Structure 1
Amino acid sequence: MALAAVQMRDMGNERKRGPAIKPAHATQGFGVPLTIAPHHFVVVIPRGSRQPVQITEDLGMHAQGDATDVLDRVIISRPVWNEIATPVKRTFNERLKAHNLKPGQWKVGENLVDRLLGKELCVLAWAIEDLDPDRVGTALRNWLALRPEERWWLFGMTASTVGGLNDRGRGWRMALRYALGDTPQATIQEPRRGGKKLDESIYATLPLFQREES
């Protein structure tokens, strides 16, 4: 009788909680769909604690013609990776949960990352690959302050010109380093108190904006 009462109580609790929410679709790693040859990124974390971490882009079925299927994007030192790994994981998992997708975990070996999240990670990695260690935290905070769309745009601009392993320190890669690593925090420019209002009548009006004579 006691066992039956416990079972009835558990069934009642299940009805109150409702059915478990199933993921929107099956994924692996950080949001990579379980489909044939998806476009995704791979974060390779070696077993050695001092070995660097490499990020590659697998074009999957998006590869066209003779295009390379896998693009080596960036290599960063292990101490730098260790500093950003947990905040990046937390940020990515919050996004995945918001879309009802299974969260991911970093592990030794190959870590699959959704193509959009991978683009965002590359932007951060490019910014910190040659950055002074004491400024990595600043770059991370500035990266977190960006919207996903802004990170995608920065990836597109960088990847189209200097997106390979041998392109570090050039063009947009250098721009990302200064933009994210050399800006301590977002500041709002305070307007200064001006003097007398400028008399605009001293400037000639362009013909396009002249009033027609009535």
Structure 2
Amino acid sequence: MVESGAEEAPHTLGFGVPATSDPHHFRVKIPRGNTGRVQISEHLGMRPQSPNEDVIDRVSLQRTRWTAIRSEVQRALNARLKAHKLKTSAWRVGDNPVDRLLGKELCVLAWAVEDIEQEKIPVAVRNWLALRPEERWWLFGMTAMSTGGLKDSNKGWRLALRHALGDVAQSELLAPEARRQQSSPRDSRPTLDLFGDGTK
């Protein structure tokens, strides 16, 4: 029996996708085997003007690059879902649905690491984790406008993301030791608002 005033958690698929008819979301397609590329696509959902689903293929990652980011991304996404009392998930072979906002954030990291030197990927992951969700959404919007497709790597905002996230560990460089120790609670950032309504 549900207590008065208590709300039941909404039913979701994958990483926080509402279990409704054709919602706007992302899908991470992971092939069988250890060599196939992992593809991230944005599914815009049903539009009133057309019965067809609009799909934008955003990025395709070499399997080694995906393997280098998958665990940290899964942990970060699940922490956000838990904070909103939503079901968590894990990456599986096949199609993995991802909430539209979390998918935008994932794209930012995937774009940053798609052509970066392998040894710089941990730096890119750390810098991505240090960003606020709103900052990731803004970066996605700017990048998607001009260089958001499969064939748009190595130019414009895609290239800028690679340098911004992968070249220098920003938090290590900018914060003195004492400030880093004082700001350690900031590392629990994944509990920030998932839907951007400003509530905590």
**TM-score interval w.r.t. the shorter chain?**
0.7 to 0.9
**8 Å contact 1:57–1:71 — kept in the other structure?**
yes
Over 3 Å counting, the alpha-carbon distance change for 1:167 and 1:44 in structure 2 is: same
Write the mapping of 1:124-163 to structure 2, written as runs, cut at 5 A. 124-163=109-148
Aligned counterpart, 1:33: 18
Q: Distance in 1 between matches of 2:125 and 2:96?
A: 20
**8 Å contact 2:14–2:89 — kept in the other structure?**
yes
Q: Distance in 2 between matches of 1:66 and 1:34?
A: 19
**8 Å contact 1:23–1:101 — kept in the other structure?**
no
3-state secondary structure, aligned to 1:167: coil
Q: Distance in 2 between matches of 1:122 and 1:50?
A: 20
CA offset at residue 57 of structure 1?
Answer: 0.2
Decide which of 81, 95, 110 is 2:80's aligned counterpart. 95
CA offset at residue 65 of structure 1?
Answer: 6.1
Q: Distance in 2 between matches of 1:73 and 1:35?
A: 23
Q: Percent identity?
A: 58
More contact order relative to length (CA 8 Å, sep ≥ 6): 2
Q: Distance in 1 between matches of 2:175 and 2:14?
A: 42
Q: Deviations over 1:60-80 (max 9, x none)?
A: 035866997000000011011
CA offset at residue 91 of structure 1?
Answer: 0.4
Aligned residue identity for 1:43:
V
**8 Å contact 1:43–1:56 — kept in the other structure?**
yes
Higher strand proportion: 2
> Which runs of 5 or more residues in structure 2 are unaligned?
177-200
Write the mapping of 1:45-84 to structure 2, written as runs, cut at 5 A. 45-62=30-47, 69-84=54-69
Decide which of 153, 156, 169 is 1:184's aligned counterpart. 169
**8 Å contact 1:39–1:62 — kept in the other structure?**
no
3-state secondary structure, aligned to 1:75: strand
**8 Å contact 1:37–1:61 — kept in the other structure?**
yes
CA offset at residue 185 of structure 1?
Answer: 3.3
The root-mean-square deviation of aligned C-alpha atoms, in Å, is: 2.2
3-state secondary structure, aligned to 2:151: helix
CA offset at residue 48 of structure 1?
Answer: 1.6
TM-score, reference length from structure 2: 0.80
Over 3 Å counting, the alpha-carbon distance change for 1:67 and 1:124 in structure 2 is: farther
Q: Please tell me whether Structure 1 or Structure 2 has the larger radius of gyration of its CA atoms.
A: 1
TM-score, reference length from structure 1: 0.75
CA offset at residue 151 of structure 1?
Answer: 0.1
Over 3 Å counting, the alpha-carbon distance change for 1:41 and 1:128 in structure 2 is: same
2:96 paired with 1:111 = yes
Aligned residue identity for 2:73:
V
3-state secondary structure, aligned to 1:50: coil
